[in-house]
Chains A and B, each alone.
Chain A
Amino acid sequence: MTTTAGRVTGTALRRFGRRHRELGYCWAVGWCSPAALVMLLVCLPASLLTDGDPDRGLLRARRKLTDMYRKVPGRFGGSAIVRPHLRDRPPREDPATRRDLAFLALESLIGPVLLLGPGALVWYGLFGLLAPGIATLLGSRGGLPQGTVLDSPAVALPAGLALYYAGLRLAGPASRLHSRRWLPLLLGPAPSVAVEVERRRLAERVEELTETRAAAVDSREAELRRIERDLHDGAQARLVAMGLALGALETLMDTDPDRARELVRQTRENSARALTELRGLVRGIHPPVLAERGLVDALRALALDAPLEAEVDADGLAGRAEGPIEAALYFAVAELLTNAARHGDATHARIQLSHTGRVLRCAVRDDGCGGAHEEDGPVLGAGGSGLRGIRRRLSAFDGSIAIQSPVGGPTLVTMELPCVLSSPKTSSSSGKGSAPS
């Protein structure tokens, strides 16, 4: 019973939240139409005077505004509209130029009617009827509007609520109509160049993928070479030495027990060292905590071992990312913490993880002396260190890194990786309730 009631309440609350988000869309995007109108009034005469070849500055400003509109659907659960401008054609010959202008003209009409309408209903319902009605009910109405309807709360209150509800119900269809039908109509590529625009977008993407794939292969190659060298010079060599020592022991055991004992001690030391080296190597390939517990606990373990005070805030993370993505972020954060302590002289760092809109975001802030920039630190091969190395590693996943590090500090590095989280594991191994915080 209670669970059913809870579920119903939950659904109702979610719907309430969604409707208000839609209302927010109407209100926020609706109020951009004045900007569209102003832009149109400035651009139209200019483009008429110059025979459709607009002034560079104006053109840029106009494209900025229409590009902002193109991003709107992406912000509200859809996907952003691809920019249809053809870079290699003069603006006058680009159909997108005319279509942008037409969009501005129509949007300055459609925006207010379609979007501000529901908003106005809600606004009037709340502040024109409901608030004065309540004020009348309470008997204090200095300065509030008068009227026959308002004087009788029995009419004003239900009417106010009805308007509020009507506005709220209209906001959904209005916002969907605007973002899914109207915006792509003129802001998307013209039918005559749509194929061309798509072809170019794909070509750009292929180029980008070729580059990042080459970088990924290079860094994997460098990594394997490093591992090979470490094994060859380390554990492998020690095992050979141990084998030799054991061979010598066979003869020495009877002839020279003292020497044999010493050799046994050495051999044991060698085996211990080989283990230590292998452990270090394993950590560099794939940190054990990452395999055992996932990114969040691995970062916590990293923070505990870091040469500075570090805290991890991952409350906003409700699942696990793919293994390679977790590993890439782990090594990036490890690099950043080392840099912060070594070059930035930082004593405190904060690692924040969150996942919104299919993007995993990791922000690392430290209180060091700043001044970090990408040319810093050598890039050893492709798997090298430094911020550029991190960028390369993240680019294989379409990830990005932004560095804010003014001289004098503090430094804030934000990394973003597009990915979908899997739901948290429900098996027994996730029973981390006892983890002290």
Chain B
Amino acid sequence: MRVVLAEDLFLLREGLCTLLTAHGFTIAAAVASGPELRRALAEEELDVAVVDVRLPPTFTDEGLQAALEARRSRPGLPVLVLSQHVEQLYARELLADGSGGVGYLLKDRVLGAAEFVEAVRRVADGGTAMDPEVVAKLLGGRRRDDPLAALTPREREVLALMAEGYSNTAIATRLFVSESAVGKHSANIFGKLGITASEETNRRVQAVLTYLNGSATP
């Protein structure tokens, strides 16, 4: 699996390269700035891009902008965005096209190597990997016409894990229930949020989007 990596801190870039190579990824390009990233995203044959939000030369959201642009010209291009902080605003922008293959994680998650690599794989396969902190913010808001108000606590738990990007099997393991129980919960969630049957991955992305779109518009 070919990875394009963009991270301006040398130590972290090297660390990520080592980590990903050790888990069988091939580093197609490891870059340190926005313009280099743009070039790499346009030229390289890649399966997934791992991108830091803040990159030189502007040290604003160069990385995020480059990733969003690349996804506009190559829809569905798998991108995992890393940052020192997570924002609902950025999560919305990444998920907005609804085509999956998106990840948004705190840099801290790199410390849990196995889970991080698993997240990169999931994104490369067209799934999602949302940071638990984003998901908690999404589900924690107190809003008047909350579309999630109809969900039971258990269903909310399932939705939270679903939003993070876990499969039914993974959710079942984490909640100590059977896989069929998770299937039943997710069917209920889709029903209550009014998400009609379509491809499974898309439905999962949609479930998160429903929440995003139902909440206050900035």
Residues of A within 8 A of B (CB): 268, 271-272, 275-276, 279, 282-283, 288-289, 291-293, 297, 300-301, 303-312, 341, 347-348, 427-429, 431-432, 434-437
Contact = CB atoms under 8 A, between A and B. Distances in A.
Given A292-B61, A434-B68, A434-B72, A276 B216 contact: no
Nearest to B95: A436
B47 interface: no
Contacts of A428: 34, 62, 65-66, 69
B88 interface: yes
B53 A310 contact: no
Contacts of A311: 216-218
Nearest to B137: A305
B184 interface: no
Contacts of B92: 304, 435-436
Interface of B: 34, 53-54, 58-62, 64-66, 68-69, 72, 83-85, 87-90, 92-93, 96, 106-108, 111, 137, 141-144, 212, 215-218
Nearest to A427: B58
Given A271-B111, A293-B60, A309-B143, A301 B65 contact: no
B142 A308 contact: yes
B95 to A, nearest CB: 9
A186 B95 CA distance: 64
Contact of A282 (B59, B84, B137): B84
Contacts of B72: 434
Given A272-B108, A293-B60, A305-B88, A300 B144 contact: no
A429 B60 contact: yes
Given A276-B108, A304-B88, A435-B93, A310 B216 contact: yes
Contacts of A289: 85, 87, 89
A311 B137 CA distance: 17
A68 B85 CA distance: 51
A146 B123 CA distance: 83
Given A272-B111, A283-B85, A304-B88, A434 B96 contact: yes
Given A292-B60, A428-B65, A434-B72, A309 B216 contact: yes
A435 B96 CA distance: 8
Nearest to B218: A300
B65 A431 contact: yes
A293 B58 CA distance: 11
A327 B53 CA distance: 21
Given A309-B143, A428-B34, A436-B96, A297 B89 contact: yes
Contacts of A436: 92-93, 96, 212
Contacts of B65: 428-429, 431-432
Given A272-B111, A308-B142, A311-B217, A288 B84 contact: yes
A347 B144 contact: yes
A326 to B, nearest CB: 13
Nearest to B91: A304
A437 B61 contact: no
A311 B143 CA distance: 12
B8 to A, nearest CB: 14
A402 B106 CA distance: 39
B51 to A, nearest CB: 14
A427 to B, nearest CB: 7
B217 A279 contact: no
Contacts of A279: 84-85
A259 B218 CA distance: 50
18 contacts: A268-B111, A272-B108, A272-B111, A275-B107, A279-B84, A283-B85, A288-B83, A292-B64, A297-B89, A304-B88, A305-B137, A428-B69, A429-B62, A432-B65, A434-B68, A434-B93, A436-B96, A437-B217
A301 B212 CA distance: 13
A307 B141 contact: yes
Given A297-B89, A309-B143, A431 B69 contact: yes
A126 to B, nearest CB: 44
Contacts of A434: 68, 72, 93, 96
Given A311-B218, A434-B72, 8 more contacts: A275-B107, A279-B84, A282-B85, A288-B54, A288-B87, A292-B53, A348-B144, A429-B34
Contacts of B87: 288-289, 301, 304-305
Given A293-B61, A304-B218, A309-B216, A288 B85 contact: yes
10 closest Cβ contacts across the A-B interface?
A300-B218, A304-B88, A301-B89, A292-B61, A436-B96, A309-B216, A292-B60, A288-B85, A301-B87, A275-B108
A433 B192 CA distance: 32
B93 A292 contact: no
A311 B84 CA distance: 26
Contacts of B59: 291
A303 B61 contact: no
Residue from B65, B69, B84 with most neighbouring chain A CB atoms (10 Å): B65
Contacts of B54: 288, 292
A276 B66 CA distance: 27
Contacts of B62: 428-429
A339 to B, nearest CB: 15
A310 B88 CA distance: 14
A350 to B, nearest CB: 10
Given A293-B60, A428-B34, A303 B218 contact: yes
Contacts of A271: 111
Contact of B88 (A272, A291, A301): A301
A310 B142 CA distance: 11
B9 to A, nearest CB: 14
Contacts of B60: 291-293, 429
A334 to B, nearest CB: 14
A293 to B, nearest CB: 6
B71 to A, nearest CB: 9
Nearest to B138: A304
